[in-house]
Structure 1
Amino acid sequence: MKLTIKDIAKMAGVSPGTVSKIINDTGSIGWKTKEKVMKIIEETGYQPSFSAKSLATKKSNLIGLIYAGEIDVDFNHPFFNQVINAFRKTIGQMGYDILVFSNNQFSKSSQDYLARCKHFQLDGCLIVAGDYIEDSIYELDQSSVPCLGVDIEMTGPSSSYVTTDNSKVSAKVVEYFYLHSLKEVAFIGGPEDSVISDIRKQGFLHSMNQLGMTVKPEWIQYGNYFEESGYHAMKEILQNRPYPQAVFAASDMMALGAMKAIKEVGLNIPVDIKLIGCDDIEACRYSDPALSTVKQDKDKMGRLAAYMLNDLINGNTEPSSILVDPELVIRESSTIDTKKLSI
């Protein structure tokens, strides 16, 4: 039996008019109600018709997905995969399709992204930050095209952004070590010109200095967010004695590389050196020892990005930003007594 709007309304405990407004994104409906109705639509497989709406509003129902960096490398990163999957799933329920922009096959003129948006008549764009932000990204941001940035600050007239509160990421790690009498901590960051990595580094240094903890220049190293770079950064840190009591790596992949380097010199984790990463990728649970991490709510970020971009497209909100709180997850790699605990 084919479901109707009335059926969905009854399941959600709302009126058919509310369901219609959510599907067509009209009126002012609370986020919790929106999510409840959209979840029921997903679970039941209900397929609303968007064709009439598209013709009436002259919308293409197409969203551009842009990675500001080397797409063939970084879209493989577990963090971005989960954010984008949550975004794709949520925005798809709203009737949009996604067009992925290649940034390797086109010229790098300042009008490139904006010109393509106009060519395909896109309703809006999701922009995911990489290490190197092209000028054409900022050109697009300052245009009238609705844009939603993930891990990149957007300041344009039709732009918003969502990101983890990266200062809190570092503060949570440093405070954990401080509360367990560990004051000699090393830091492995991403590329030195990475905006996100720099925020985490500055947050790390601020928290360390605020708590009177030891900061040594040779204990500040950089990688590229992937495992091999974390391995080499940790090897540099281990060149000099005494060793740090703990290490914070700005990504789990780099932390896993650091873990390998620590083991190679015969040190024990967490007895000799404690280790915390960032992102909470799946591999953290299966490393030996299991890797402590700062969890970014990737699913929430993706869903927020979808709702915020949809609101921008339909003129339901003013440009804004949302900082998502991180969560410290303690596993064997940084416990004091090698038993699991969470804070």
Structure 2
Amino acid sequence: MNLTIKDIAKMAGVSPGTVSKIINNYSGISEKTKRKVLDIIGETGYQPTFSAKSLATKKSNLIGLIYAGKVNVEITHPFFNEVVTTFKKTIGKLGYDIIMFSNEQFYQDNGSYIARCNHFHVDGCLIIAGDNVEDAIYELDESEIPCMGIDLKLKGPNSSFVMTENYALSSKVIQHFYLHSIRDIAFIGGRKDSSITIYREQGYIQAMQQLGLEIRDEWIQHGDYFEESGYEAMKRILDTKMYPKAVFAVSDMMAFGAIRAIKDSGMRVPEDIRVIGCDDIEACRFSSPQLSTIQQDKDRLGKLAANMLNDLISGNSQLSPVFVDSELIIRESCGSK
């Protein structure tokens, strides 16, 4: 017979909350009541469930992990995988476990993240940015459930976010090319409606304008952050009458695709066209040529997200968003230090 906390409470003549407090070793319970409940637990062999242990504290020590958007970044995405790995280690040291929520059925059954969070009694949520973010994410953001976004701006009463400083990121790339006498610079972004692409494209345009460099519409192309789309975007750029001298791709995967398209056209990297990507994934060190890139501080992003979410759960709802600096890493695809 599988006993529940309610069964134990009925046998002892006390409330389930009292049984839960005794299980969790809370004070304020008489020794007589405590002994009676513990004796019944011993006699019946009752094993407290996770929900029973959390009943008194109102905390589950569970964090919901959500990859947001109709077009999400997937668990295998190198950048977010490293950020989440650091987050998982850090939040684990703070006493939490992680449960992942799928959004695959959202557009069939009108699912609710709030309902799922309440069902599993999660203490808070980490939300990873995707494209075409579903309305349910913003409903969750506006709820009382603490939420932490990564590369996703959240504005709710118990929410905050961490994000790489994307305008400065793009400016570093353009300034590097400019200081090495490169003036003709193309841009390959992700999806046009992607918030990260929008920020980085705005940063690219702003930096180009500040330095008096010409912005050619045909040299601004878009993909989906993955290699094949970078290849196709670069081919469209190479179909124009004039070739750029350099390309900034907003993901390393698209930069790899751009390099392949340049090589397939009979040109060389970096001798004919220089390339800089973004993310500094492990493959950058082993590509041919080795890829120059913007290194986002994945370790810092993950640690900040974990500690800030823990503070939100603890009642500190006054946390401002944090923007993390990046570093330009020059390798062979730029041909210059």
TM-score by length of 2: 0.82
Q: How far apart are 1:105 and its partner, in Å?
A: 2.9
Secondary structure of 1:82 counterpart: helix
Q: Residues of 2 paired with 1:55 and 1:140: CA distance?
A: 23
Secondary structure of 1:74 counterpart: coil
Q: Residues of 2 paired with 1:182 and 1:250: CA distance?
A: 18
Matched residue, 2:335: 335
Q: How far apart are 1:320 and its partner, in Å?
A: 1.6
Q: Residues of 1 paired with 2:134 and 2:69: CA distance?
A: 8
Contact (CA 8 Å) 1:143, 1:157: kept in 2 or not?
yes
Is the alpha carbon distance of 1:218 and 1:297 closer, same or farther for their aligned partners in structure 2, counting shifts above 3 Å? same
Q: How far apart are 1:233 and its partner, in Å?
A: 0.2
- In the alignment, residue 196 of structure 1 is paired with which amino acid? I
Is the alpha carbon distance of 1:72 and 1:294 closer, same or farther for their aligned partners in structure 2, counting shifts above 3 Å? closer
User: What CA deviation, in whole Å up to 9, does each residue of 1:165-211 have, x standing for no partner?
Assistant: 01111000000011111110000000000011010001000100110
Q: How far apart are 1:107 and its partner, in Å?
A: 5.1
Matched residue, 2:30: none
Q: How far apart are 1:317 and its partner, in Å?
A: 5.0
Contact (CA 8 Å) 2:225, 2:251: kept in 1 or not?
yes
Q: How far apart are 1:119 and its partner, in Å?
A: 1.0
User: What CA deviation, in whole Å up to 9, does each residue of 1:221-272 have, x standing for no partner?
Assistant: 0000000000000000001232101000000000000000000111111111
Is the alpha carbon distance of 1:71 and 1:230 closer, same or farther for their aligned partners in structure 2, counting shifts above 3 Å? closer
Matched residue, 1:184: 184
Q: Residues of 2 paired with 1:72 and 1:248: CA distance?
A: 23
Matched residue, 2:158: 158
1:37-116 equivalences in 2 (<5 Å) = 57-69=57-69, 74-106=74-106, 112-116=112-116
Contact (CA 8 Å) 2:67, 2:73: kept in 1 or not?
no
Matched residue, 2:28: none
Matched residue, 1:212: 212
Work out whether 1:225 is the aligned partner of 2:225. yes
Matched residue, 2:292: 292
Contact (CA 8 Å) 1:262, 1:268: kept in 2 or not?
yes
Q: How far apart are 1:52 and its partner, in Å?
A: 12
Q: How far apart are 1:214 and its partner, in Å?
A: 1.8
Using the TM superposition, name which of 326-335 and 220-229 deviates more: 326-335
TM-score by length of 1: 0.80
User: What CA deviation, in whole Å up to 9, does each residue of 1:125-179 have, x standing for no partner?
Assistant: 0000001210000000000000000000010000010000011110000000111
Secondary structure of 1:248 counterpart: strand
Contact (CA 8 Å) 2:51, 2:60: kept in 1 or not?
no
- In the alignment, residue 138 of structure 2 is paired with which amino acid? Y
Contact (CA 8 Å) 2:158, 2:317: kept in 1 or not?
no
Q: Residues of 2 paired with 1:264 and 1:101: CA distance?
A: 41
Q: Which runs of 5+ in 2 are unaligned?
A: 1-49
Is the alpha carbon distance of 1:110 and 1:323 closer, same or farther for their aligned partners in structure 2, counting shifts above 3 Å? farther
1:137-176 equivalences in 2 (<5 Å) = 137-176=137-176
Q: Residues of 1 paired with 2:78 and 2:263: CA distance?
A: 24
Contact (CA 8 Å) 1:71, 1:103: kept in 2 or not?
no
Q: How many residues align?
A: 288
Contact (CA 8 Å) 2:68, 2:137: kept in 1 or not?
yes
Q: Which runs of 5+ in 1 are unaligned?
A: 1-49
Matched residue, 2:122: 122
Matched residue, 1:240: 240
Q: Residues of 2 paired with 1:177 and 1:72: CA distance?
A: 32
Q: Residues of 2 paired with 1:107 and 1:257: CA distance?
A: 32
Contact (CA 8 Å) 2:73, 2:129: kept in 1 or not?
no
Matched residue, 1:43: none
Q: Residues of 2 paired with 1:283 and 1:104: CA distance?
A: 29
Please tell me the root mean square deviation across aligned C-alpha atoms, in Å: 2.0
Secondary structure of 2:333 counterpart: helix
Matched residue, 2:312: 312
Q: How far apart are 1:316 and its partner, in Å?
A: 3.6
Using the TM superposition, name which of 70-79 and 182-191 deviates more: 70-79
Matched residue, 2:249: 249
Matched residue, 1:303: 303
Q: How far apart are 1:55 and its partner, in Å?
A: 6.0
Secondary structure of 1:323 counterpart: strand
Q: Residues of 2 paired with 1:71 and 1:131: CA distance?
A: 5
Contact (CA 8 Å) 1:113, 1:137: kept in 2 or not?
yes
Matched residue, 2:323: 323
Work out whether 1:259 is the aligned partner of 2:259. yes
Q: How far apart are 1:81 and its partner, in Å?
A: 0.3
Is the alpha carbon distance of 1:189 and 1:301 closer, same or farther for their aligned partners in structure 2, counting shifts above 3 Å? same
Is the alpha carbon distance of 1:100 and 1:112 closer, same or farther for their aligned partners in structure 2, counting shifts above 3 Å? same
Q: Residues of 1 paired with 2:119 and 2:141: CA distance?
A: 17
Q: Residues of 2 paired with 1:207 and 1:138: CA distance?
A: 32
Q: Residues of 2 paired with 1:236 and 1:71: CA distance?
A: 23
Q: How far apart are 1:56 and its partner, in Å?
A: 5.1
- Structure 1 vs Structure 2: percent identity of aligned residues? 60
